[in-house]
């Protein structure tokens, strides 16, 4: 049997309003619904929704006049990962500091100049850039690994990613050869390779080709 | 046309903390978080700086809490697995180049 409970001196039901007692909240118990066709919903503000309350799922077919959003979209500091292909589950931006070495593991590293990189992570896509500059590559067997990426690259077998480079300095390379970067799957570094367009082969950049004052702008993206 | 003047508050103090993620293969993704506050102690900004430490890489210059994590996570098995993986990658590259 449907029922209306009326309690308290100041609570009332009128033609256009359901009003609780002053200082209290009108509660719709779990399993009960307040139904309407939506045509009368003209104003909904944060003050109308009590803490801990949630809005029902929006029906896409009814979204014909969404209001403009003038604020921010904030994600939690710690990602709440989703495996759904249509769900955006993370956003983060920050900095990283490239280190230059001849191997992925421990070993001698180049003395870096004022090097800074930036990253933005959107979902599983990581966009990076950096200006990499050294002041000495003494002791390095090769000048080919840029370490300390902000995130590890995905371990998916097809997750290898190409990073573009431009505007280098201090490089002893011949015309027709180009330096490009590669982030291998399941790693946290970028390999610099010299592509020889005349011969059609590439090799890891050597310390002969990257001199003490070598520098390079890098930019690209990869997946985590 | 309206122009809005952009002002930047100058932080007077900073708080640094570390967190991050530990991947199954032992890679530790370190996130340094710097909270910036004004003279009244109000938070006016937050900045992240990230880097990764793979099993087998040197972590002696890390913060103590990161060292503690790496000491536990970078087991001999994970270090040898990582070295084997990297060697296999290198050999595969040589075969295809």
Helix, strand or coil, per DSSP, at residue B94 = helix
Contact B51 A78 (CB under 8 A): no
- Compare B66 and B9 and report the one with higher pLDDT: B66
Average pLDDT (B76-84) is: 95
For A36-51, how does the pLDDT look when each residue is reduced to its tens digit (9 = 90+)? Answer: 555 555 555 555 555 5
Is residue B16 within 8 angstroms of chain A, CB to CB? no
Q: What is the per-residue pLDDT across A82-139, written as a single tens digit (0 to 9) for each?
A: 999 999 999 999 999 999 998 888 888 899 999 889 999 999 999 999 999 999 998 8
CB contact under 8 A, B47 and A150: no
pLDDT per residue as tens digits for the range B25-69: 999 999 999 999 988 888 888 999 999 999 999 999 999 999 999
Most A CBs within 10 Å, among B54, B95, B96, B97, to test the A interface: B54
* Integer angstrom CA distances of residue B52 from A150, A153, A223: 6, 11, 15
Give the torsion through C-alpha atoms of A173, A179, A185, A186, to 10 deg.
60
On whether the CB atoms of residues A192 and A205 are closer than 8 A, the answer is yes
Q: Hey, are the CB atoms on B57 and A105 less than 8 Å from each other?
A: yes
Q: How many whole angstroms from its chain centre is CA B14?
A: 18
pLDDT of residue A2: 55
Q: Which residues of B touch A188 (CB under 8 A)?
A: 27, 52-54
Tell which residue, A123, A122, A191, A125, has the closest CA to residue A163. Answer: A191
3-state secondary structure of A65: coil
**Structure tokens of A107?**
């070993």
- Residue B21 binned pLDDT confidence (cut-offs 50, 70, 90): very high
Nearest Cα neighbor of A134 from A167, A162, A169, A160 is A169
Measure the CA–CA gap between A99 and A47, rounded to whole angstroms: 50
Q: pTM for the whole thing? A: 0.78
Distances (CA, A) of B36 to A11, A61, A132, B47, B68: 47, 44, 27, 8, 26
Alpha-carbon dihedral angle through residues A141, A144, A148, A151, given to the nearest 10 degrees = -140
Query: Two tokens at A191?
Result: 């390999």
Query: Across A28-37, A50-59, B42-51, which has the greatest mean pLDDT?
Result: B42-51
Q: Indicate if the pLDDT at residue B84 is higher than 70.
A: yes
Taking CA atoms, A29 is separated from A5, A17, A26, A32, in Å, by: 12, 18, 10, 6
Given this model, what pLDDT does residue A139 score? 86
Task: Specify the DSSP class assigned to residue A153.
Answer: P
Interchain proximity A95–B54, CB inside 8 Å: no
Of A97, A147, A151, the CB nearest to B29: A151
> How do residues A71-84 score in pLDDT, each as one tens digit?
888 899 999 999 99
Q: Using the predicted structure, report yes or no on whether residue A220 has a pLDDT greater than 70.
A: yes
CB contact under 8 A, B52 and A151: yes
pLDDT, one tens digit per residue, over A131-174 is 999 999 988 888 789 999 999 999 887 777 888 888 888 888 88
Q: Tokens in use for A114?
A: 């004022």
Contacts of A94 (CB under 8 A, 6+ apart): A118, A119, A150, B31, B47, B48, B49, B50
User: What is the per-residue pLDDT for A147?
Assistant: 92
Nearest to A119 among B19, B25, B50 (CB): B50
What are A183's two structure tokens? Answer: 């982030």
């Amino acid at each position: 049997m449907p029922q209306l409970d009326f309690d308290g001196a100041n609570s009332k039901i009128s033609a256009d309003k359901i009003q609780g007692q002053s200082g209290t909240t009108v509660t719709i118990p779990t399993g009960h619904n307040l139904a309407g066709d939506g045509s009368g919903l003209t104003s909904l503000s944060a003050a109308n929704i009590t803490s801990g309350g949630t809005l029902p799922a929006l029906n896409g077919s009814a979204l014909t006049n969404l209001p403009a959003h003038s604020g921010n979209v904030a994600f939690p500091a710690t990602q709440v990962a989703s495996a759904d292909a249509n769900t955006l589950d993370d956003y983060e931006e920050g900095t990283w500091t490239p280190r230059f070495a001849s191997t992925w593991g421990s070993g001698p590293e180049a003395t870096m100049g004022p090097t800074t990189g930036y990253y933005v992570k959107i979902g599983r896509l990581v966009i990076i850039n950096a200006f990499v500059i050294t002041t000495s590559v003494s002791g390095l067997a090769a000048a080919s690994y840029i370490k300390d990426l902000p995130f590890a690259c995905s371990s998916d077998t097809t997750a290898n990613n190409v990073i573009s480079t431009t505007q280098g300095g201090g490089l002893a390379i011949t015309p027709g050869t180009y330096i490009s970067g590669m982030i291998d799957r399941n790693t946290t570094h970028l390999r610099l390779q010299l592509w020889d367009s005349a011969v059609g082969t590439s090799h890891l950049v050597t310390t002969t080709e990257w001199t003490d004052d070598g520098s390079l702008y890098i930019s690209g993206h990869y997946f985590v | 046309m309206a122009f809005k003047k952009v002002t930047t508050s100058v932080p007077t103090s900073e708080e640094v903390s570390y967190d991050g993620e530990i991947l199954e293969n032992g890679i530790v993704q370190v996130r340094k978080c710097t909270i910036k506050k004004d003279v009244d102690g109000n938070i006016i900004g937050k900045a992240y700086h990230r880097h990764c430490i793979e099993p087998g890489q040197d972590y002696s210059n890390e913060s103590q809490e990161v060292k503690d994590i790496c000491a536990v996570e970078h087991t001999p098995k994970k270090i040898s697995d990582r070295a084997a993986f990297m060697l296999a990658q290198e050999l595969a590259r040589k075969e295809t180049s």
